[in-house]
Amino acid sequence: MQEPERSHYRHRDLNWLSFNERVLQEAEDKLNPLYERIRFLAIFSSNLDEYFRVRVSQLRQMKKVEKSLRKKLALKPTKLTKEILEEVKRQQEKFGDIYYKQIIPELAYHDIYLIESSHFNAEQKKFAVNLFQKKISKHIKFRLLNLDKENDLFLENATLYFLVTFKNENKFGLVNIPVDSCGRFVELKDKNQKTITFLDEIVRFELHTIFPEEEITGIYEIKLSRDAELYIDDIYDGPLAEKIYDSLKQRTSGQPTRLLHDAKMPKEVQKKTRKLLNLGKIDMMPGGKYHNFNDFFSFPDPTNNPELHFEKLPPIPHKVLEKSDDYFSAIAEKDQALHFPYMSFDYVENFLEQAVQDKDVTDIKISLYRVADESKLTSCLLEALEMGKNVTVFVEAKARFDEKNNIIWGRKFEEKGANVIYSYPKVKVHSKIMLIQRMENGESVNYSYIGTGNFNSETSEIYCDHAIFTANQKIAKELLRLFKVLEGELIVPREKNLLISPFSTRQEFTKLIYNEIENVREGKKAKITAKMNSLEDPEMVELLYKASNAGVKIRLLVRGFTCLIPGIKGISENIYMTSVVDRYLEHGRIYIFENDGDEKIYYGSADLMSRNLDRRIEVISPVLDKDVAQEFKELLAIQLEDNVKARVQDASEENRYVERVEGEKAVRSQYEMYKYLKEKHTS
């Protein structure tokens, strides 16, 4: 993680915070209904928790590197961590302002009251006592700690606790808040209004019964985040999936990365807490009265008021697949594109179901990166095995936070007779691919599915992704060779049409960018337009700078973090970048190269990140069907015109919204894309 020259590059970890700032802007934006703004607070909190568990923990590991070597590698983890903590503190203060000054009053405006235990009336106090005694107390775990003695104390990752101080300053109390067992929110009985409280407040109200012999002087909520890295030995000396599965317990016992505490905790109590938990000052992060705001995903709406939520957008029926009883014929006739969440994931599951039921289908091959807990897709794969079809499933056992579920499903497929392939050391399989082999007129014909998103019906409802079904045999044969690589039958896939990491993506993207540079120098049409999640690879950033300096116009849409800085004089003047954060999570990748008017359009699973180009199996496919290519272009054009939810990305990192010229039509791209697809597919 060498820190590049700051004048030309952003540090990815600092710029990621700029992305999370955009999420916070959505919580502040009154264009969004109230409960959706609450959801954005939950997303912000969830993102930040993962950031500390993954990125900040890596910085902590870097601090263990010998100082002379850190200097040689230009590693500055302490300086960077301080910058991160300063920015996080600023954002959390903004978070608190949004929550207390906007969300809480607006809930009250709609007769929904989120109250603290100090405001319980007599009836609510009685209800709280009864609820605690009957349902909550059995899940409470507590300790009375003597600070004059050694205390073997362990806080579980992301678990909420109360740290309790007493008149006897040599004692601390520690009490868990059992959210997993009891839920985070409690609807209080109230005849006159809709009243909700935190589970925290019920426990707080009854703390005196847990420590009846002590005089309580302070109650402070705390939460410890732990390193999420599994640190598995890369030497392949046994089944990697088993090593991963056995190592998952490290997630709950990893090195602390942040102790979030109530900002009102006195400094002397903070000092004692640090000593008690063996933490440094840099590990302490002041926050609000409550933590784990990701629990607000489940915040109840006792009014059931539809105006407080996004209007439902029903899935758009695909103009061909919706009416088709035979997907194979429809795909053989013409490539068919899907766009989620505007269209239903049912089409993918229906295709697989048809393949299972079709007596002419012999083989099903699929790569699974994040598997849903239960889905029609997994049921279809199990049914295919029962019907005697050959099923090959590549299961990515290293998909962070989905390892356990993926491995469990892999075992289920294995038990039913599937050829299950798990992760490789140092390489993840991130591609979203499926291949169906079918006997037609005595020959095996391949049908392919290549997408930008996971085979997951749940995430398909909130992730914006693209996919294409194709019977193009050039694409299918190369995809088949890739599966043979995964199965160990080939070493390289020898592709000419597909871009496959780590074999050819970097080289082909380099050629495509240099082609635009040559074209602009020769006075030909030259332009690069790209949409992705993140842009980090130093070599690609330098190439884009080089293209910009040559005069190539570059238009980028990057949802997450970027190390490239647009608009720097003499470096990136011809690069303009925006980011769209809105109702859905932008997740698709599309790359368009002007190629002197004969455009080359690609889409797939890879961002321009070093890991996607060099350390993952990724598939980027050309869009060969002219109609589908036009559809991809028009959808991307809509996003590039966004002037409602698009933020300009430049050296200032201010996340300012794209300015709308007076009289200009407001373009909120996700809604305009929905309208475009609805008109095109239902007309």
Which sequence positions are flagged as catalytic? 430
Q: How far apart are CA 587 and CA 574, in angstroms?
A: 25
Nearest-angstrom CA–CA distance, 160 and 222: 6
**Interior CA angle at 379 toward 373 and 380, to 5°?**
135
CA–CA separation, 683 vs 668, rounded Å? 22
DSSP string of 23-36, one letter each residue: HHHHHH-TTS-HHH
Closest by Cα among 418, 435, 331, 415 to 381: 418
The span from the CA of 121 to the CA of 113, in Å, is 13
- Contact in structure between 669 and 638 (CB atoms under 8 Å): yes
- Bind-site residues: 47, 370, 400, 463, 559, 587
Sequence ranges of the binding site for Mg(2+) = 370, 400
Q: Which residues are part of a known binding site for ATP? A: 47, 463, 559, 587
Task: Report d(CA 269, CA 560) in Å as an integer.
Answer: 38
**Three-state DSSP class for residue 180:** helix
Q: What is the DSSP string of 305-347?
A: -GGGSPPP-PPPPPTTGGG-S-HHHHHHHS-EEEEETTS-THH
Work out the number of other CB atoms within 10 angstroms of the CB of residue 235: 7
Q: Which two tokens stand for residue 628?
A: 């589908």
Q: What angle do CA 454, 458, 460 make, to 5 degrees?
A: 50
Beta bridge partners of 186: 197
The secondary structure of 636-660, three-state, reads HHHHHCCCCCEEEECCCCCCCECCC
What does the alpha-carbon distance between residue 324 and residue 538 come to, in Å, rounded to a whole number?
46
* HSE toward the beta carbon, residue 2, CA cutoff 13 A: 10
Q: Please give the Cα distance from 453 to 466 (Å, whole number).
A: 7
